């Protein structure tokens, strides 16, 4: 039974070996030039400015949370959509119940003022 | 693609009618809370009350058949129905207490509070009827997450926040243990279905003592032990019970315990019945320690909420005695005890909630001094609840202990029963101290003015009537409990 896992073991070994190999090779072969930009967290991309301790409005938190909830709703819909024809009326009703429950939450969030920025 | 073939499970919506009613009520209450202009009235409370009452009647009139629905995810047997009834009683009394408690803590009178309360009750019901380890976990989380939020509902009170945070962090940790335990049991047996695990272990005796299964069982014991406040995992209880709003504490102490014991009984008797001999040897010691630690530490408490928290640990110990004893008599005794405990504990917390004021909660023992003569009716019901907890006849607490200890003696655990009785004697000291303080101590400061409303009076009357009825005419309830011991095997 354990022999089934040999491919997994091989995969792990190859993965580790590849990681070690590339780090060792690049650190030995690559030219080492130290200057200021090299030490920055994001070498390429936008220039960093200011300190990292910037205050972020707490509202972002609520928005992120709501996004997550309604985004996950879509995740549940994908498999449902794939099997939509097979599930027939039953599947349709079930999904409508699910959406109805989420709609109640949406109404709640709306009425509570979580969607207003000010 | 063959493996991804989707099979529509057999559905029996009548089997979950009580739960559907609770869910619809919870959503309705949530919307009513935000849409209604009237923020101070008890309308939301009464709406949830109606929902729970409807759900209760759905449980009662759902017949007595034993069905397994949703591909074995749910098992609607008489055991599950009894647990559902306990949960409904707990939710009913908690809502009645909350309707009065809203005057002290206006935050409680919101749609969110009752919505979470109802969803927690929903989770408890599903825990009683879960037929699959995954379902146990989902139900447990539905219940727990709602209660974490409920414990921190008094946002202005530091203790309430502390209570919620402690309960959440430790509870999440315990859930992790439980889930990991489930995973190991699944690894050992190849199924999550509680009945199928039981059959698999019957057919494969070699697996029973495999390290994989034993490790899983140990982790599961930790997870369940946390929820029922079993001895080494009881540390959170006093802080959480003290800090949470009193109405929530009442709900936690009774509902969570009933639901967690239901899941514990079903998982350990049905799925892990083959391990019972080994389990009793461990649980014997744990039951003894849980009783003793709870009772001995409760003596030292001056805060009545903390005292009741330790007393709830001790009661978990008595219930574990029943768990160790096993068999039909023990299960019926435990069910009887859980219902009786729900009545007496909700009653006691109801009295504490009645004492609370806007400027703080009067939960020190000295606050009770002189109350007995000033408010004779309240003193009388509090005395009934304390007598019942101590196990003095004619109350539910006495009969419950009688049945559990009888079951222990019948199963040959005579010493455990003796220790149980000794513990009951110890507990009389601190329960009677409350009564002594109420009637014989001179008040040091002004006696708290009580402003009871109809709702809390009704709650206390129901609780006291329940305690006395189960103590004087126990056979009627015990008969129902006896008929509720058939678990789907």
pLDDT at B7: 64
What gap in Å lies between CA B191 and CA B203, rounded to an integer? 14
Other Cβ atoms within 10 Å of B262 Cβ, number: 28
B364 - beta bridge partners?
A: B303
Q: Is residue A102 part of a domain?
A: yes
Q: How far apart (Å, rounded) are the C-alpha atoms in residues A104 and B160?
A: 28
Q: Is residue B4 pLDDT above 60, yes or no?
A: no
3-class secondary-structure state, position B67: strand
Please indicate, yes or no, if residue A61 is contained in any of the structural domains: yes
What pLDDT, on a 0 to 100 scale, did the predictor assign at position B369?
82
Check pLDDT > 90 for residue B317.
Answer: yes
Q: Is residue A118 part of a domain?
A: no
A15 inside domain: yes
Q: What is the mean pLDDT of chain B?
A: 89
Answer whether residue A70 is part of any domain: yes
Nearest CA in chain A to B11: A90
Given a cut of 90, is residue B318 above it in pLDDT?
yes
How do beta strands B67-69 and B74-76 pair?
antiparallel
Provide the pLDDT for residue B252: 92
Which residue among B6, B8, B30 sits closest to A104, beta carbon to beta carbon?
A: B30
pTM: 0.87
- Give the residue carrying structure tokens 């001094």: B369
Tell me the CA distances in angstroms from B326 to B84, B322, B407, one per residue in order. 21, 6, 8
B159-167 CB contacts, 8 Å cutoff, 24+ apart: B159/B242, B159/B243, B160/B243, B160/B244, B160/B245, B161/B243, B162/B239, B162/B243, B163/B239, B163/B240, B163/B241, B163/B242, B163/B243, B163/B244, B164/B243, B164/B244, B166/B236, B166/B239, B166/B240, B166/B243, B167/B236, B167/B240, B167/B244
Q: What is the pLDDT of residue B488?
A: 61
**H or E element: which one contains B45?**
helix B43-60
A9 within some domain: yes
Chain B residues lying within 8 Å of A109, measured CB to CB = none
Between B454 and B118, name the one with better pLDDT.
Answer: B118
- Average pLDDT for B200-229: 90
Q: Say what the pLDDT of residue B63 is.
A: 74
> Among A111-115, B41-45, B72-76, B246-250, which range has the highest average pLDDT?
B246-250
Contacts of B6 in chain A (CB under 8 A): 83, 86-87
Q: Is the pLDDT confidence value at B100 over 90?
A: no
What pLDDT, in 10s, does the model give residues A1-49?
677 888 899 999 999 999 999 999 988 888 877 777 777 777 777 777 7
Q: What domain range is A65 assigned to?
A: 2-112
Top-confidence residue, B107 or B139 = B139
A117 in a structural domain: no
Q: What is the pLDDT of residue B1?
A: 40
Nearest Cα of chain A lies from the Cα of B462 at a distance, in angstroms, of 34
Q: Do A108 and B6 touch (CB under 8 A)?
A: no
- Rounded-to-integer distance, Cα A13 and Cα A11, Å: 5
Which residues from chain B sit within 8 angstroms of residue A83, using beta carbons?
A: 6
Query: Is the per-residue pLDDT at B221 higher than 90?
Result: yes
Per-residue buried b or exposed e for B147-177, using 16+ beta carbons within 10 Å of the residue's own CB: bbbbbbbbeebeebbbbbebbbebbeebbeb
Q: Taking CB atoms and an 8 Å limit, are B6 and A86 in contact across chains?
A: yes
- B328-362 pLDDT, tens per residue? 889 999 999 999 999 999 999 999 888 877 766 77
pLDDT given at position B49: 92
**Residue B103's pLDDT band (cuts 50, 70, 90):** confident
Q: Cα–Cα distance between B268 and A104 in angstroms, integer?
A: 38
Residue A49 belongs to domain with CATH number:
1.20.58
CB contact under 8 A, B30 and A108: yes
pLDDT tens per residue, range B121-179 = 999 999 999 989 999 999 999 999 999 999 998 888 888 999 999 999 999 999 999 99
Q: Is the pLDDT of residue B75 over 80?
A: yes
Of B166, B282, B28, B403, which Cα lies nearest the Cα of A107? B28
| Token pair 């949960």 in the structure block, residue | B87
Judging contacts by C-beta atoms under 8 Å, the chain A residues touching residue B27 are 101, 104
> In this structure, is residue A76 part of a structural domain?
yes
Return the H-helix or E-strand segment holding B275: none
Q: How close, in Å, is residue A93 to chain B by CA atoms?
A: 13
Q: What's the gap in Å between the CA of A100 and the closest CA on chain B?
A: 10
| pLDDT of amino acid B450 | 73
Q: How many domains does chain A have?
A: 1
B402, B388 Cβ separation under 8 angstroms:
no
Report pLDDT for B410.
92
User: What pLDDT score was predicted for residue B2?
Assistant: 46
């Amino acid at each position: 039974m354990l022999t089934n896992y040999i491919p997994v073991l091989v995969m792990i070994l190859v993965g580790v070996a590849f990681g070690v190999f590339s780090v060792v090779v690049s650190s030995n072969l690559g030219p080492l030039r130290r200057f200021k930009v090299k030490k920055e967290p994001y070498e390429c991309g936008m220039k960093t400015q200011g300190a990292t301790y910037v205050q972020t409005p707490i509202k972002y938190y609520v928005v992120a949370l709501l996004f997550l909830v309604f985004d996950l709703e879509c995740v549940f819909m994908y498999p449902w959509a794939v099997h939509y024809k097979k599930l027939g009326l039953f599947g349709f009703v079930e999904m409508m119940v699910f959406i109805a429950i989420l709609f109640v939450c949406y109404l709640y969030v709306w009425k509570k003022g979580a969607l207003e920025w000010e | 693609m063959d493996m991804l073939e989707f099979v529509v499970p057999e559905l029996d919506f009548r089997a979950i009618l009580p739960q559907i009613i609770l869910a619809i009520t919870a959503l309705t209450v949530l919307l009513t809370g935000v849409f209604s202009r009237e923020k101070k009235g008890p309308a939301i409370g009464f709406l949830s009350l109606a929902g729970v009452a409807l759900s209760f009647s759905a449980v009662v009139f759902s017949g007595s058949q034993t069905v397994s629905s949703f591909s074995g995810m749910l098992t609607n047997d008489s055991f599950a129905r009894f647990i559902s009834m306990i949960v409904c009683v707990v939710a009913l009394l908690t809502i009645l207490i909350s309707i009065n408690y809203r005057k002290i803590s206006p935050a409680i009178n919101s749609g969110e509070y009752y919505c979470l309360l109802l969803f927690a009750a929903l989770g408890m019901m599903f825990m009683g009827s879960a037929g699959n380890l995954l379902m146990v976990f989902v139900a447990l989380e539905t219940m727990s997450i709602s209660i974490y939020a409920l414990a921190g509902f008094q946002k202005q009170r530091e203790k309430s926040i502390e209570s919620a945070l402690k309960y959440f962090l430790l509870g999440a940790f315990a859930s992790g243990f439980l889930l990991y335990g489930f995973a190991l049991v699944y690894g050992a047996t190849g199924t999550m279905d509680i009945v199928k695990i039981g059959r698999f272990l019957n057919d494969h005796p070699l697996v029973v003592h495999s390290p994989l299964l034993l490790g899983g069982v140990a982790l599961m014991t930790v997870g369940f032990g946390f929820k029922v406040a079993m001895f080494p995992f009881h540390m959170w209880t006093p802080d959480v019970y003290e800090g949470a709003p009193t109405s929530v504490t009442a709900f936690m102490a009774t509902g969570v315990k009933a639901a967690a014991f239901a899941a514990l009984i079903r998982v350990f008797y049905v799925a892990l019945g083959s391990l019972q001999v080994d389990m009793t040897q461990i649980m014997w010691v744990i039951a003894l320690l849980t009783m003793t630690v709870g009772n001995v530490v409760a003596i030292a408490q001056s805060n009545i909420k903390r005292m009741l928290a330790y007393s709830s640990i001790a009661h978990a110990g008595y219930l574990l005695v029943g768990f160790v004893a096993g068999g039909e008599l023990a299960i019926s005794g435990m069910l009887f005890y859980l219902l009786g405990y729900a009545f007496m504990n909700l009653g006691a917390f109801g009295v504490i909630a009645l004492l609370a004021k806007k400027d703080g909660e009067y939960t020190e023992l000295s606050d009770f001094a002189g109350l007995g003569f000033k408010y004779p009716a309240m003193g009388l019901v509090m005395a009934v609840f304390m007598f019942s907890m101590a196990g003095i006849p004619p109350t539910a607490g006495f009969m419950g202990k009688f049945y559990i200890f009888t079951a222990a003696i019948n199963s040959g655990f005579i010493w455990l029963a003796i220790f149980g009785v000794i513990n009951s004697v110890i507990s009389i000291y601190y329960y009677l101290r409350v009564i002594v303080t109420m009637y014989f101590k001179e008040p040091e400061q002004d006696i708290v003015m009580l402003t009871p409303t109809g709702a809390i009076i009704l709650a206390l009357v129901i609780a006291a009537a329940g305690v006395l009825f189960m103590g004087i005419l126990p056979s009627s309830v015990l008969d129902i409990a006896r008929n509720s011991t058939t678990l789907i095997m």
